[in-house]
Amino acid sequence: MKRSGCRLILKVLFFNDMSLLPQPKSNRQEVLLTLIKNGKVSIEDYPYLSGFRTRVSELTLEHGLILKSKPVNAKNKFGRTITYVEHHLEENEIENAIAIYNSINNL
């Protein structure tokens, strides 16, 4: 119950006050903001971003963000099964993610 409560409080803060975090200024920040708001991100969220996997790698390798990855099966437009990775932000990493978001904003 505690896990969902924390995420719910965070979502309420975002929907009530979008100025809680500044608007993203880079693709890296945009991916991170989606992680913070939704708790997960995948290539399905950013099909137009050719460097999506690079942005996720930068967040984990350069900024030390801890993400859990889960393979997801889906069907493409031709009916074939494809697999992509969904990256999940754990509840205990939300504060770290927000700190990283703000530090990227100051670069």
* Ramachandran bin of 71, using left for φ above 0, alpha for ψ from -120 to 50, beta for the remaining angles: beta
Q: Domain holding 57: CATH number?
A: 1.10.10
Statement: residue 17 has pLDDT above 50: no
In eight-state DSSP terms, residue 66 is -
pTM: 0.79
Classified as helix, coil or strand, 21 is: coil
How are strands ordered across the β-sheet holding 40-42? Answer: 40-42, 81-89, 67-75
Two tokens, residue 48: 């137009």
Q: Which domain holds residue 29?
A: 2-105
If one counts the domains in the chain, the total is 1
* Farthest CA pair distance, the chain: 44
Please report which confidence band the pLDDT of residue 5 belongs to, taking 50, 70 and 90 as the band edges. low
Mean pLDDT over 18-34 rounds to: 87
Q: How far apart are alpha carbons 36 and 31 in whole angstroms?
A: 9
Q: What is the mean pLDDT of the chain?
A: 86
